[in-house]
Amino acid sequence: MTYKSLTAASLVALIMGAGGAMADTWRYAFEEAMEEVQGKFAQKFKEEIEANSDHEVQLFPFGTLGESADIMEQAQSGILQFVDQSPGFTGALIPEAQVFFVPYLLPADQDELVEFFRSSKTIKELFPPLYADQGLELLTMFPEGEVMMTTTNEVTSPADLNEVKFRVMTNPLLVEGYKAFGATPTPLPWGEVYGALQTGIIQGQENPAFFIESTKMYEVTDYITRAGHNNFTTAVMANKEFFDGLPDEDKQLVQDAIAASFDYIVDYQDGLTETSLEKIKEAKPSITITNLTEEQRQPFRDTADDVEQQFLEIGGSQAQAILDQMKADLDAVSGGAADAEGEADADAEAKAEN
C-alpha cells in the first residue's frame, strides 16, 4: 500500500481553504478508508452534525493527510478539529492507553464488550484528563472487531511464532505482548505492511477481519488465526482548545452526534466479522482460517500476567489506577450480564409455573 504525504503547500491550502474563511467547517481525519469501520463512524457523525446544524464536516480518510502520527500532530495543533486513532498509536503519547493491549483482558462476548465501552468509568472518568494533558478531548472509544493474526506459516501455539517477524503498531506494550507470544515484533507504519509481507521482510500482522479483507492482507499471507486475544479499540478525539471554545449548544451537538454514531457502528458491526471471513475465503480458497480451541489458546493466555506487569512498569503514573478500574468495569459488565440472564431464566420459570 502507498499513501500521499501532506506537503507544506497542501497543508497551507488546507488551512486557507477550510479554515478561517469557513469558521464552521470542521475537519475530521481517521486511520481507515471511507468504507471501513472508522470511515462508517465518521460518515454517521458528519450526517448527524450537518442534519442538526449549519456546520459542515470534511472527512479525511487514511493517506490523505499522511500516516497516523501526522494526523495526531495536526489534531493537537488545531489544523484538525477531530481525529480517530487507535490507542495502538497513542500509546507512546498516553502510556496508560496501552492497557487495551493486555491480552485476554477485554471480553469475547459482544454484548459485554459493547456495554463496557458504553459504561466504563475508565473511559468516561479516568482517561479524559490524560488525553486533555495532550491537548485532546476524548469523545468516545469503541471496538472495531476481534483481532486476528495473518501469517505466512500456520500458528497453533506460541512455538509457531518463534523467529516470526510480526508487524505491530508503534506501541511499546504491543511489542512486549508479541515478544511474550514468542514472535519478533517489528513496528512498521501501516503504509509499509503489504509490501513488507510481499517481500518477506515480515511474516505476520494482526487486524480485525474486515480490515484484513478490505486491505487484501490475505493476498500476501496464507493463514488467519483466531486466538481470541483482543478486540481492536479506537478513540475519537477533538482538539481540546477547539472543543472548549464551542458554545454549549455545539458541545451538545457533538456529544449527541457521537452517541448516535456509537449506536450506529455497533449495529453496523453485527455479523461483519463472519461476512468478511467469507469474502476472504471466496477470494482466496486456499487460505486456512483457524479458530483455536480453548486448549490451544491457553499457552497464549498464560502470557497475560507477564504482559500486565509490563503495563504497570511502562504504562505511566496512572497505570495501576487504570488497570484496577478497568477490571472493576469489566467485572460489573460480566456480573450485569449474568444477572440479566438469571432474571430471564427466573421469568421463564415463573411463566412456566403459571
Domains of the chain, first to last: 8-310 (3.40.190.170)
Tell me the C-alpha distance between 152 and 168, whole Å. 16
**Beta-strand relationship, 223-226 and 136-151:** antiparallel
**Mean pLDDT on 170-186:** 94
Query: If we measure between CA atoms, which residue out of 36, 81, 94 comes closest to residue 63?
Result: 36
Which grid cell sits at 83? 481525529
Secondary structure of 185-253 in HEC code, one letter for each residue: EEECCHHHHHHHHHHCCCCEEEEEHHHHHHCCHHHHCCEEEECCCCEEEEEEEEEHHHHHCCCHHHHHH
In the chain, the DSSP E strands lie at 25-30, 56-60, 82-85, 136-151, 165-168, 184-187, 204-208, 223-226, 231-239, 288-291
pLDDT higher for 269 or 2? 269
CA dist., res. 150 & res. 12, Å (int): 39
Contact (Cβ atoms closer than 8 angstroms) between residue 83 and residue 75: yes
More confident residue, 310 or 169: 310
- Chain segment 268-324, per-residue pLDDT in tens: 999 999 999 999 999 999 999 999 999 999 999 999 999 999 999 999 999 999 999
Q: What dihedral do alpha carbons 323, 157, 282, 207 form, nearest 10°?
A: 30
At position 255, the amino acid (one-letter code) is Q
Render pLDDT for 228-262 as a digit per residue (tens, 0 to 9).
Answer: 999 999 999 999 999 999 999 999 999 999 999 99
- Contact, 168 vs 264, CB < 8 A? no
| Three-class secondary structure of residue 328 per DSSP | helix
**Residue 108: C-alpha distances to residues 114, 147, 230 (Å):** 10, 11, 8
**pLDDT tens-digit readout, 100-151:** 999 999 999 999 999 999 999 999 999 999 999 999 999 999 999 999 999 9
Burial 202-226 (b: 16+ CB within 10 A, else e): bbbbbbbbbbbbbbebbebbebbbb
Mean pLDDT of the chain: 90
pTM of the full structure: 0.87
Distance CA 126, CA 324 (A): 11
Cβ–Cβ < 8 Å for 213, 35: no
The residue assigned the cell 473511559 is 123
